[in-house]
Amino acid sequence: MKILFQEPLVSRSITYGKFSKGAGNNTFPYGIASIAGYIAGKGYDVKYIEPNIERMDFDAYGRYLMKNDFKVIAMSSTTLQINQTIKTFEFIKKIKPETITVIGGVHATIMAFETLNATDAIDYLVIGEGEVPFLRLMSHIEKNGAKDEVAIGGVAFKKKGGETIINPPSPENTLQTADLPTPPYHLFPMNKYIAQITYTKRFPSYSIVASRGCPFKCSFCNGSVVFGKKVRYKSPDRIIDEIFTLKNEYGAKGIIFLDSTFTVDKQWLTEFCRKYIEKKVGLPWACNSRTDTVDESLLRLMKSAGCWEILFGVESGNQKSLDIINKGTTVRGNTNTLKLAMSLGFYTYASYILCLPDETEADALNTVRYARDIGTPIAMFYLPVPYPGTELYGICKEKGILREDADWEDFNAWDFSNPVYINPLIGKERMQAILKSAYNSYYLNPAVILANLKEIILLRQDIKKFVYALKGMAGLFK
């Protein structure tokens, strides 16, 4: 039984908005790759295709499907991509109606009923952590054929009569640390991935996810919905072996840890850093963190182990806003950690959300001033995106205007030409103007310009990265 894992056919303008010319391309899809590795390890014939990287239109994609006899085709989808994912499934059913289709991912998990009822082209939906329920579904299909009714925890479907059946995930769907799979890199077009440039020091850099789960309660995030709140790490030895594979077999010159918070478990991180040094891995790496999960001794150890960049989700320069979004940090703590990281030589990256619920224009501008005063070499600014299933969605509905005519493609953190949420104390046009001026004033800050010129002049980072960045910023201000 041949199984195809793939990305949906989605244009770059949808995925990256105005940053599309400077965004590289899709970062390595670690989540679906992990499921592919798990299924392949159980003896199934697994393939993968990335139509967008292969520059396929629907005609070319159709020819590919006709040349291959895939029993099952599976995709994951974000909220932003769901319309195009559905369109891809409908195309599959049009040309090969006997194909069994499966969807998973965060949007499908949170909006299972809505996703299944949006189209008849999806046969099954996997909720939450996908390896175990997907494997059980494949076993069911292998034994029983394309029968639509299953009683598998974490699998949903729509009966022929139209009734939607949602089987809640079973506890055994959550993999133990030792069972977390390694992606089958040989199935993926590794030489074609251009990782997100904000995390890249040298090309090629590849992304890894060392853990699952997030214990924090940020109201704007739904990350724990899929993997839960308990954090599970692969062992440091396994992660280092994986990095050596990327280095020796695929020429990796850098590693990007895309864990939501790489620094949650200080004991694990300490062991990882020490082994990274002992085994002389020798690749620079970047990660996501929170300002309240690191201290000077840990940062120094990370630096000696090759960590060159850390993204801190600062979010706001206003304590009331940090409290509203349940960030659990303080403005003072954020300031101290950002300054400490910069003083230790990290290429420090901060992200901010402007015009949050209950903020006035003065509050939003205060966050912009705060960001400029700190002056990290790189910063990203966003307007609120209240994704379905998040606490922020309810807060925005209560304290603002959620567009009733919003399309899923409007839930875009890269393009705010038609924002989903309007802060009534500021208004749409002023929100957009504040966002644009934030980027303008920030990257014209002499301290920020000097910090990045040093990176270029001293060849600390790949020049190509800054070329991509200029293209991205040009698109923003076009």
At which residue do the structure tokens 């952590």 appear? 129
Residues in Cβ contact with 233 at an 8 Å cutoff, skipping those fewer than 6 apart: 177, 210, 211, 265, 268
Amino acid in the structure at residue 179: D
More confident residue, 292 or 398: 292
Pairing of strands 72-76, 205-208: unpaired
**What pLDDT is recorded for position 405?**
86
Give 3-state DSSP helix, strand, coil % of the chain, rounded to 5. 45, 15, 40
The pLDDT value recorded for residue 161 is 82
Question: Does residue 194 or residue 400 have the better pLDDT?
Answer: 194
Taking the C-alpha atoms of residue 367 and residue 380, their distance in angstroms, rounded to an integer, is 12
Calpha distance 396→15 (Å, rounded): 23
pLDDT at 226: 85
Mean pLDDT, the chain, whole residue set: 93
The pLDDT value given to residue 20: 55
Burial class (CB in 10 A: 0-12, 13-18, 19+), 451: middle
List C-alpha distances in Å: 427 to 356, 418, 431.
12, 12, 6
d(Cα 220, Cα 260) in Å, to the nearest integer?
13
The arithmetic mean of pLDDT across residues 166-171, rounded, is 96
pLDDT digit string, tens, across residues 230-257: 999 999 999 999 999 999 999 999 999 9
Residue 397, pLDDT score: 87
Average pLDDT over every residue of 16-31: 67
Percent of the chain with pLDDT over 70: 95
Q: Residue 167 in contact with residue 136, Cβ under 8 Å?
A: no
pLDDT range class, residue 63, cuts 50, 70, 90: very high
pTM, to two decimals: 0.94
The model's confidence at residue 399, banded by pLDDT at 50, 70 and 90, is: confident
pLDDT of residue 224: 82
Residue 444: CA count within 13 A, CB half-sphere:
7
Across residues 128-140, what is the average pLDDT? 97
Contacts of 215 (CB under 8 A, 6+ apart): 224, 229, 230, 231, 264
| Residue 478 pLDDT > 70 | no
Q: Which residue has the tokens 């059946």?
A: 165
Q: Which residues of 411-450 are buried (b: 16+ CB within 10 A; e: fewer)?
A: bbbbbbeebbbbbebbebeebbebbeebbeebeeeeebee
Closest of 386, 375, 294 to residue 337, by C-alpha: 294
Q: Is 68 left (phi over 0), alpha (psi -120 to 50) or beta?
A: beta
pLDDT recorded at residue 470? 81
Structure tokens at 294: 């690191």
412 vs 320 pLDDT, higher one: 320
SS3 20: helix
**Can you give the pLDDT at residue 14?**
65
pLDDT of 472 reads 73
Give the residue from 299, 250, 243 showing the smallest Cα distance to 276: 243
Residue 42 DSSP one-character state: T
For residue 237, give Cα distances in angstroms to 252, 280, 461: 18, 13, 28
Whether the pLDDT of residue 18 is over 70: the answer is no
Grade residue 10 by pLDDT with cuts at 50, 70 and 90. confident
Q: Which residue has the tokens 């390896």?
A: 131
User: Domains in the chain, ordered, with CATH?
Assistant: 2-171 (3.40.50.280), 195-477 (3.20.20.70)
Q: pLDDT per residue over 325-352, tens digit each?
A: 999 999 999 999 999 999 999 999 999 9
Q: Please give the Cα distance from 167 to 149 (Å, whole number).
A: 11
Q: What whole-number distance in Å separates Cα of residue 428 and Cα of residue 421?
A: 9
pLDDT tens figures, 288-333: 999 999 999 999 999 999 999 999 999 999 999 999 999 999 999 9
- Report whether 350 contacts 376 (CB < 8 A): yes
CA gyration radius, the chain: 22
227 and 260 Cβ atoms separated by less than 8 Å:
no
Q: Are 125 and 102 in contact (CB under 8 A)?
A: yes
For position 25, what pLDDT does the model report? 54
Instruction: Tell me how far apart the alpha carbons of residues 261 and 267 are, in angstroms, rounded to a whole number.
Output: 14
CA distance 144 to 331: 58
Do the Cβ atoms of 326 and 391 come closer than 8 Å? yes
| pLDDT at residue 26 is higher than 70 | no
State both tokens at 284.
Answer: 């620079």
For residue 23, pLDDT over 60 is answered with no
Could you identify the residue written with the tokens 């020490």?
274
Given a cut of 80, is residue 421 above it in pLDDT?
Answer: yes
Residue type (1 letter), 79 = T
Which pLDDT value is given to residue 201? 96
What's the token pair of residue 366? 């205060």
- Give the Cβ contact number of residue 303 at 10 Å: 16
pLDDT tens digits, one per residue of 449-462: 999 999 999 999 99
Cβ(318)–Cβ(369) below 8 Å: no
Average pLDDT over residues 49-66: 95
Residue 471's pLDDT band (cuts 50, 70, 90):
confident
Read off the pLDDT of each residue in 36-62 and give the average, rounded to a whole number: 96
What pLDDT shows up at residue 137?
97
